[in-house]
Amino acid sequence: MKHTHLALLLLAVSLFSLQGCAGKSSQQARLQSMDNSICQDTVSGRMWQIEKGPMAFSLAEAEQYVRSLNLGGYNDWRLPTVSELYDLNYYFDLFLVGDCTLDRKGSYWSSEKDGAGKAGAWEIGASQCDPSREYTPSAMGYVRAVRP
């Protein structure tokens, strides 16, 4: 997992250095708005809930929220992995989000394939031109559902 994040960071740095800190990327958007409640990743097909869900104080509470969520006619929502949350932030860092607007402030719950879950935030580095992010754990967080 560390190698994946390092590779993503190196890719982000190389892409960012090509365009500088000047603004929007000329690359095609990775996210597109499907309606006012869902944005879809144009490469992976993953769908993201636009509005952040409620503040959850436990993994069980966050999982209960996504299990009961029926959004856009879909009811197979789940918690994203930490890596998926990183990817979502990465698209915003590189201006690859098209017309999708998501409030990403705060900590969010994640769940891994092994069932382990945690809340935390991907916080941006000190420099505005530095696309690196660091994961900071938290005791509680919002829910941002993803599917499939």
Residue ranges of the domains in the chain? 2-18+41-147
The residue written with tokens 């690859």 in the block is 96
As a whole number of angstroms, the distance between CA 121 and CA 116 comes to 16
The phi, psi pair for 68, rounded to 5°, reads -95, -5
What pLDDT, on a 0 to 100 scale, did the predictor assign at position 45? 95
pLDDT value at residue 6: 44
- The answer to whether residues 131 and 19 touch, using CB atoms and an 8 Å cutoff, is no
Rounded to whole angstroms, how far apart are CA atoms 75 and 21?
Answer: 40
Report residue 118: phi and psi, to 5°. Answer: -160, 160
From first to last of its 148 residues, the chain has per-residue pLDDT tens of: 555 544 444 444 444 444 444 444 457 888 888 888 999 999 999 999 999 999 999 999 999 999 999 999 999 999 999 889 888 888 888 788 888 888 888 888 998 777 678 787 766 555 556 556 677 778 889 999 999 8
Structure tokens at 24: 């929007």
Q: Given strand 47-49, what is the order of strands in its sheet?
A: 31-33, 38-41, 47-49, 146-147
Q: Give pLDDT, residue 2.
A: 55
